[in-house]
Amino acid sequence: MTSREMQVEFERRITLMNPDFEIKEKLTSDTIFSFLNAYTERFVRMNYLQDDQLQDGTRALKKNADALKGLIVRTTLSQKLPDTANTDEVSDQFILPEDYFLYIRSNSYITSCYKGDVNSIPHEGTKTPDYLYVTPNKTVREDHVQNILSTFYNKTILRNPYVVLNAGQATDPSDNIYLNVIHDSYTTISKVDLVYYRKPRKFDVIGVDGINVLDHCELDDNVHMEIVEGAVEMFITEAKYRLNTKQD
């Protein structure tokens, strides 16, 4: 469905509920697409969370994966930032991309670990790689980080780094969201291979440039009607007082 078709379907459903929305209380395009775009993000978030409850190989899981596949992005995070106020000495901070929306998975490029470092491992030929190996990262909640940190009294060995997301220091004037990679004191990480869901691009009938604003919802066509229905439900819930006023 194009943006215009989704707008028309939204208007049709609202008008069926209350005829005043056809002329007297007609909604503006800005209002309609505000709800359509807002529900698109909510749809992505809900399907992301539903994956934990769906069994592998089911049609429901395949539908979710198919609907969101166009939002999956892979990138390399190579800029580690010093965080002098962070007392977790065995963590590295990376800035997440501007279009970052939801975390899927990541790998760390390791240049040294408790077994040695990249310079101590013999390599064939004259070319030497800049990393020892690549390992998947695990995830951990912020309030569980203390259970895996190396301390003065306990030098733990983490066979996999752990990642946690946060906004950095309270005094940070930027709007950056950071990926913190927690590892043991023997490990050095050079960069992170990140796979994530990016934010869906906005769609509208006004201001379309094909880059920041599209003329269609970029999710698969098979979920466009679900997005219209969800946006209508969102409108009814958040603007319920308007409907109740007309009914009175």
| One domain for residues 78 and 174 | yes
| One domain for residues 59 and 78 | no
Burial 36-47, CB ≥16 within 10 A → b, else e: bbebbeebbeeb
User: Could you give the residue ranges of the DSSP H alpha helices within 18-133?
Assistant: 29-50, 59-68
Q: Convert the pLDDT of each residue in 83-102 to its tens digit.
A: 666 677 788 889 899 899 99
| One domain for residues 84 and 193 | yes
> Which single residue is written with the structure tokens 């939204």?
10
| One domain for residues 10 and 33 | yes
pLDDT of 126 strictly over 60: no
Confidence of residue 25 (pLDDT cuts 50, 70, 90): confident
Tokens describing residue 26: 């007609």
| One domain for residues 87 and 52 | no
Q: Using an 8 Å Cβ cutoff, are 176 and 96 in contact?
A: yes
| One domain for residues 144 and 88 | yes
If one compares 211 and 131, the residue with the highest pLDDT of the two is: 211
Last residue of a domain, one of 161, 179, 198: 198
| One domain for residues 193 and 205 | no
Note the pLDDT of residue 9.
96
Note the pLDDT of residue 232.
94
pLDDT of 197 strictly over 90: yes
pTM exceeds 0.75: yes
State how far the Cα of 103 lies from the Cα of 221, in Å rounded to an integer.
24
State how far the Cα of 21 lies from the Cα of 29, in Å rounded to an integer.
13
Last residue of a domain, one of 157, 183, 198: 198
In one-letter notation, the amino acid at residue 156 is T
pLDDT of 38 strictly over 60: yes
Among 72-81, 146-155, 167-176, the least confident range:
167-176
pLDDT of 114 strictly over 50: yes
| One domain for residues 79 and 182 | yes
List of residues 6+ apart from 5 with CB closer than 8 A = none
| One domain for residues 163 and 216 | no
> Which single residue is written with the structure tokens 């698969």?
220
Confidence of residue 168 (pLDDT cuts 50, 70, 90): low
Note the pLDDT of residue 62.
76
| One domain for residues 77 and 193 | yes
| One domain for residues 50 and 109 | no
pLDDT of 181 strictly over 50: yes
The helix (H) or strand (E) run that includes residue 177 is none
Note the pLDDT of residue 83.
63
Note the pLDDT of residue 73.
95
Confidence of residue 11 (pLDDT cuts 50, 70, 90): very high
Alpha carbon 243 to its chain centroid, in Å, reads: 34
Note the pLDDT of residue 127.
47
Indicate the number of domains in the chain.
Answer: 2
Rounded mean pLDDT, 130-153:
83
pLDDT of 173 strictly over 60: no
In one-letter notation, the amino acid at residue 180 is N
State how far the Cα of 117 lies from the Cα of 110, in Å rounded to an integer.
9
| One domain for residues 77 and 192 | yes
Whole-angstrom Cα Rg for the chain: 24
Handedness of CA 183, 187, 188, 192 (dihedral sign): negative
Residue 221: burial class (beta carbons within 10 Å; 0-12, 13-18, 19+): exposed
Closest CA to 218 of 232, 207, 204, 230: 204
Helix, strand or coil, per DSSP, at residue 191: strand
Domain that holds residue 10: 3-69+201-247
pLDDT of 34 strictly over 90: yes
Note the pLDDT of residue 53.
64
In one-letter notation, the amino acid at residue 233 is E
Last residue of a domain, one of 178, 198, 218: 198
